[in-house]
């Protein structure tokens, strides 16, 4: 698949994620591995971003042809529990081409 964007809905409390690590083509990672290894992409959520949906555009070359990804929430803003309200992924199959002109033809 070609993963192009993630949308993460986060709460407006201290249980909001602060550091989110995304690993392309990694499955069955332990917590130790996720903490120690360098992620494919890392998202730092600022206090001003709490209580909303955060859209993250992923680097195209790093997520162009992946079969899986692992999401690791490393920390939050100080709570014992971390909460995510929603998680949406956006992309398409790796071999599929998207032609904007086709949208206009169907309208």
pLDDT at 64 over 80: yes
Q: Which two tokens stand for residue 102?
A: 């086709």
Residue 79's pLDDT is 96
- Residues forming beta bridges with residue 89, ordered by sequence position: 6
pLDDT at 100 over 60: no
Q: Which two tokens stand for residue 44?
A: 């730092």
Q: Which residue has the higher pLDDT, 104 or 7?
A: 7
Q: pLDDT (tens digit, 9 = 90+) per residue, 17-54?
A: 999 999 999 999 999 999 999 999 999 999 998 999 99
Whether 84 and 10 have beta carbons less than 8 Å apart is answered as yes
Residue 94's pLDDT is 73
Residue 93's pLDDT is 87
> Three-class SS of residue 3?
strand
Q: In whole angstroms, what is the distance from residue 78 CA to residue 76 CA?
A: 6
């Amino acid at each position: 698949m070609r993963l192009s964007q993630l949308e993460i809905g986060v709460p407006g409390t201290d249980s909001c994620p602060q550091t989110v690590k995304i690993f392309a083509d990694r499955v069955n990672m332990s917590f130790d591995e996720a903490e120690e290894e360098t992620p494919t992409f890392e998202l730092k959520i600022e206090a001003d971003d709490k209580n909303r949906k955060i859209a993250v555009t992923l680097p195209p070359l790093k997520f162009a042809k992946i079969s899986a990804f692992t999401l690791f929430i490393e920390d939050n803003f100080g709570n014992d529990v971390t909460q995510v309200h929603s998680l949406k992924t956006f992309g398409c199959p790796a071999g599929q081409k998207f032609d904007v002109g086709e949208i206009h033809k169907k309208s």
